[in-house]
C-alpha cells in the first residue's frame, strides 16, 4: 500500500467570516470548530532534515497530539508530498523521546484552525499571527474547481510552508520574532480566541479531530 500523499494549496484570506458563508453556500459544513493549535518542528544538529527538505512535527490540537513526518515536497501548480502521521497519547513524553534521540525544537508556530468538508476534500481556515490563511486539500482537479468557485485564481495559490511564510513576513516587516506565535509576533490572540468561541457555538457537532497542515 503506497504511503499517503498530501496535495494542497494555501491562499490569503481578507475576510474569514465571508469565506465561511461562501463555504456554507457551496455545500461545505464545519466538522471541527476553530481550535487552538500549537506546532513544534524538530531537527538534528546541522539541520539535517531541513537540508533534505523533510519535516518532523509534534502538534497539539486542542487535547489531541499528533506526530508527523513529511518528505521533500514536489512544487508545481499544487504542493504535494508524502506524509506519515500518528496520534500519540502524551505530547511531553514524545518531546522527551525526540530529544533523547538527538532531535531539538527549531521552530514553533501556532494558529486557530477550523476544518470544513464537502465530502470530497477539505478546507481549513487558519487565524495566524501573520494573517488569515486557508488551505484547500484534496485531489488536484477538485482543488482547482473549489478554488475557482471561491474566486481564488491560480496566481493566488501559495505553496510555501508556514515557516517560509513566517520568514517572508519577518523580512517584509523587519521583525525580530523567532517563532510564529501570537506573543512574539504581536498578533491578536484575543481576537482569534473570540472568533474561535463564535465558530464553536455555530459548529455542528463537538468532536475535534486534528488535520494536516
Domain chopping of the chain, boundaries: 5-202
50 phi-psi bin (left φ>0, alpha ψ -120 to 50, beta other): alpha
pLDDT of residue 205: 41
pLDDT of residue 209: 41
* Lowest-pLDDT range of 19-33, 145-159, 194-208: 194-208
Residues 6+ apart with CB under 8 A from 8: 78, 79, 80, 135, 136, 137, 138, 143
Using CA atoms, how far apart are residues 96 and 105, in angstroms rounded to an integer?
11
Report the share of the chain in percent with pLDDT over 90.
Answer: 85
pLDDT of residue 174: 95
pTM: 0.86
Specify the fold of 5-202: Hypothetical Protein Pfu-838710-001 (2.40.320)
Amino acid at each position: 500500500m503506497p504511503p499517503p500523499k498530501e496535495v494542497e494549496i494555501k491562499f490569503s484570506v481578507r475576510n474569514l467570516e465571508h469565506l465561511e458563508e461562501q463555504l456554507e453556500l457551496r455545500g461545505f459544513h464545519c466538522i471541527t470548530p476553530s481550535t487552538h493549535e500549537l506546532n513544534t518542528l524538530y531537527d538534528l544538529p546541522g539541520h539535517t532534515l531541513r537540508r533534505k527538505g523533510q519535516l518532523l512535527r509534534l502538534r497539539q490540537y486542542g487535547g489531541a497530539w499528533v506526530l508527523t513526518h513529511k518528505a521533500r515536497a514536489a512544487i508545481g501548480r499544487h504542493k504535494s508530498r508524502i506524509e506519515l502521521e500518528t496520534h500519540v497519547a502524551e505530547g511531553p513524553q514524545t518531546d522527551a523521546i525526540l530529544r533523547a534521540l538527538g532531535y531539538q525544537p527549531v521552530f514553533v508556530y501556532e494558529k486557530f484552525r477550523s476544518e470544513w468538508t464537502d465530502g470530497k476534500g477539505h478546507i481549513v481556515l487558519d487565524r495566524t499571527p501573520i494573517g488569515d490563511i486557508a488551505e484547500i486539500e484534496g485531489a488536484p482537479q477538485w482543488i482547482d474547481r473549489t478554488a475557482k468557485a471561491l474566486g481564488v485564481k491560480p496566481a493566488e495559490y501559495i505553496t510555501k510552508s508556514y515557516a517560509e511564510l513566517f520568514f517572508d513576513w519577518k523580512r517584509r516587516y523587519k521583525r525580530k520574532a523567532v517563532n510564529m506565535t501570537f506573543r512574539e509576533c504581536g498578533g491578536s490572540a484575543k481576537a482569534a480566541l473570540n472568533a474561535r468561541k463564535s465558530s464553536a457555538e455555530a459548529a455542528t457537532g463537538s468532536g475535534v479531530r486534528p488535520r494536516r497542515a
